[in-house]
Structure formats: structure tokens, C-alpha cells
Structure 1
Amino acid sequence: MGKLVSTVFVTLDGVYQAPGGPREDTRGGFEHGGWSFPYGDEDFGRFVGEVFGGVGGFLLGRRTYDIFASFWPKVTDPGDPVAAKLNGLPKYVVSSTLTDPEWAGTTVIGGDLAKEVTALKERTDGELQVHGSGALVRSLLDLELLDTIHVLTFPVVLGTGLRLFTEGTLPTAFRHTGGRVTGAGVSIQSYDTTGRPAYGSYELPDNG
């Protein structure tokens, strides 16, 4: 059975919208697209290569799928570790409107997300990876299906944009499994989900 693993880019103020380019996602009049680009050094590239080295399939939200499908099929270099995996491995896109995907190896899933994603995990050899797809990540957390999340926090504050964890996200605790900071200052931290948060108090006990 495969693990469901999310990799997501966020700013210091929690924005995940349009990290890769100015036209990637302009919802809400967002004008800061491409904010991750200045930090793409060798350390960053090394981590991305490590992530794609363990993938067995991809689970994507519709918007992220459309962004990927407009770019990666055009990258035909067999030595590109990202393009080779994205173009060659199964891709599952969660959508109620996409009916005829043109990107080879794509399957559209809908309906009972919990049932379908559980089945995908069971038959995936390696990691079933979610890239971007913030709304889908929140849904997977709510369904308690996500196993691991890699959070890449970039040293920039934007002040506007869609946040990864919005009000109403299921309270979830995580166990830190590893981390590093790139030369450009990107904090890469990995966590496994562990269930509900624990609570306590720093108040001194009342001894009467």
C-alpha cells in the first residue's frame, strides 16, 4: 500500500497561491504569482529530485492539473527527473467537470473521494503524491487520508492570496520527521500526521 504524500510551497504568511508564475492563478486579483522562483537554488532542486524519486502516481486538484498539463507534456527530455515521472506515471485528477483529459495517463476521479483515494493508495507502488492543490490537501486532511506533508516555507510575505490552512480545517497533529534549510533560505520540513492535537496548560497548579 502506498503513502499519500503532499508537497506544498507556502510563504511566511501561509499563502500557497501561484508560486510558479504570474499567470498561474490570478483568482481574487492576485498579483504576486511566481514568488518561489527567486529561491530555486541547487539545494531546492536536490530536494525536488528526492521527492520525485519515490513517486508511484500523482493525485492532483483540477487547477494544479491544468497548470501541469499545459507545461510538462512539452518537456520531452528523458533525463528530466520531474518531467519523466509526470509524463510517464499515472495521474489522477479530482474533478466533476473534466471529461476528456488530453494528458496521457490521466484518470478523472469523483464521487466518493474517501473511497476512491483509499483504493488508489492500496494499489499504488510507492508514494501517491499531491503537489500544490491546496483545497484538495485540506479535503484529504479532513478525511484523515493524508500520511505525510512536506512544507516548503519561502522567506517572503505577500499580504494577500489564498492561504493553505483556512478556518475550519480539521484540527490535526503532526510528527516532525526531517528538515533542512536551503542556501536561499527555504525551510523544508516534513511531517507525518498523528491524529488529533493534544492540549495542556502552562498555568501553575492551584495548591490551595
Structure 2
Amino acid sequence: MGRIVVVNFTSIDGVIQAPLFADEDREGGFDHGGWVPPYSDDTVNAFMQKATVDAAGMLLGRRSYEILRDAWAPADDAEPAIAAMNRMPKYVVSSAPVDLTWRNSHQVGGDLRSVVTELKDRTEGDLVVFGAGTLIRGLAEHDLVDEYRLLIFPIVLGAGKRMFDDRGRLARFRLTDSVVAASGVVILTYTRDGSA
């Protein structure tokens, strides 16, 4: 049975919007895009590569899918993380039409709990969620996340889309790993507490 693993870049104040590129997502007038690269170092890059290469597939919202597709689908497969993203199944949760031009992409819709439960039942390994604030909030609301891997960057952005809102459910996790990168990024892994 698969697991839902959220891997996300976040600022100290919880912002996840447009971490990699200036023009990645300017919705709401956000103009601080591209805040991750100045802090990316060998530790951060190695962590993200391992999280990607080890994944069995990706679970993405429509907007995150489009951002990742446009950035990585045409990139060189010689890079292990890019080759992994290109080969693995990508499940896009959306009720609106999605241009599924990235190979091995599939649109899924309907009741989120049912869709995710069915995907977990037929997957061996981790279905990784990158970005996807709306999807993450829906997963939290339905208590569907098995693990959070959060990379907390030493920056306060003051505004922007955040990972959580007030519709989540109580869910207990335990800290199973922590790493502090030389750049000041703290990488925390929280795994579902089986006693909850």
C-alpha cells in the first residue's frame, strides 16, 4: 500500500508560493518568487533529489502540475531527479480540463478521499505531493497525509499562499528525522503517529 508524502518548501511564516522562479505564481500580487535558490546547497539538493528519485509517483494539483510540467518535462533526462519525474506516474487532481502533455500523466477527479484511497491501494511506495497548497489543504481536511517532509527556509515573506488553513483535522505526527543545512534550511520529517 502506498503513502501520501508531502514534500514542501516553506518560509518561516508558512508561505509556499512561487519558491523556485520569480514568475512561477504571481497570483494575489505575490512578487517574492524565487526565494529558494539563494539557500539551496548540497544538503537541500541531495534531499530533494532523493525524495524525487525514491518516489513511486506524484500527486499534484492542476496548477502545480502545470508549473512542474513546464519546467521539467523538456529538461535533460541525464539528471536523475528529472528522469524520475518523467518516468513516474503523475496523478493530477482537478475537475477542470488539464493539458496532460507530460508523459505518464493522468487526471483524476471526484471525491478526494475515494480517489486518494484508491491510488494508495494500487501503489507500492510513496506518492509525493510537491507544492499544491489547495490539494494539501484538502488532504489535511480528509486526514490523508502519511508524512510531511518540510524544508523550512530562513526567510519571512510576509504574504503569499500558505500550506494550511483552518479546515484541517487533528492528526498526530512524530519527528523521524531532522537535518540543518549549512545555508540555514531546516529539513524536518514528520511521520504519521500510529497511536493517534
TM-score range for the pair, normalised by the shorter chain length: over 0.9
Where does residue 47 of structure 1 map in the other structure? Answer: 47
Q: Count residues in correspondence.
A: 196
What value does the CA root-mean-square deviation take over the aligned residues? 1.6
Where does residue 87 of structure 2 map in the other structure? Answer: 88
| Cα distance in structure 2, aligned partners of 1:196 and 1:134 | 27
Where does residue 171 of structure 2 map in the other structure? Answer: 172
Question: Equivalences for 1:125-164 in 2 at 5 Å?
Answer: 125-164=124-163
Contact 2:57 2:90 (C-alpha < 8 Å) held by counterparts: yes
Q: Which amino acid aligns with 2:80?
A: P
Deviation at 1:99, TM superposition (A): 4.6
Q: Which amino acid aligns with 2:40?
A: G
Give the 3-state SS of the residue equivalent to 1:22 in structure 2: coil
| Cα distance in structure 2, aligned partners of 1:19 and 1:162 | 11
What TM-score comes out, normalization by structure 1 length?
0.89
| Cα distance in structure 1, aligned partners of 2:87 and 2:101 | 14
Residue by residue over 1:65-106, the C-alpha shift from the partner in whole angstroms, topping out at 9 and shown as x without a partner, is 00011111111233x121111111110001111254111111
Contact 2:141 2:167 (C-alpha < 8 Å) held by counterparts: no
Using a 3 Å threshold, how does the CA distance of structure 1 residues 103 and 53 change in structure 2: closer, same or farther? closer
Query: What is the percentage of aligned positions where both structures have the same residue?
Result: 42
Q: Which amino acid aligns with 1:56?
A: A
Residue by residue over 1:27-85, the C-alpha shift from the partner in whole angstroms, topping out at 9 and shown as x without a partner, is 1100000011101111111111221232111100111000011111111233x121111
Using a 3 Å threshold, how does the CA distance of structure 1 residues 99 and 186 change in structure 2: closer, same or farther? closer
Structure 1 stretches lacking a partner, 5+ long: 198-208
Structure 2 stretches lacking a partner, 5+ long: none
| Cα distance in structure 1, aligned partners of 2:61 and 2:99 | 16
Q: Which amino acid aligns with 1:127?
A: D
Where does residue 73 of structure 1 map in the other structure? Answer: 73
1:117 is the counterpart of 2:116: yes
1:17 is the counterpart of 2:17: yes
| Cα distance in structure 1, aligned partners of 2:168 and 2:140 | 8
Using a 3 Å threshold, how does the CA distance of structure 1 residues 131 and 99 change in structure 2: closer, same or farther? closer
Where does residue 8 of structure 1 map in the other structure? Answer: 8
Using a 3 Å threshold, how does the CA distance of structure 1 residues 114 and 82 change in structure 2: closer, same or farther? same
Deviation at 1:170, TM superposition (A): 2.2
> Which has the higher Rg, Structure 1 or Structure 2?
1
Residue by residue over 1:105-147, the C-alpha shift from the partner in whole angstroms, topping out at 9 and shown as x without a partner, is 1110011111111111111122111111111111111112110
| Cα distance in structure 2, aligned partners of 1:37 and 1:176 | 26
Residue by residue over 1:152-179, the C-alpha shift from the partner in whole angstroms, topping out at 9 and shown as x without a partner, is 1000011111121223332332211111
What TM-score comes out, normalization by structure 2 length?
0.94
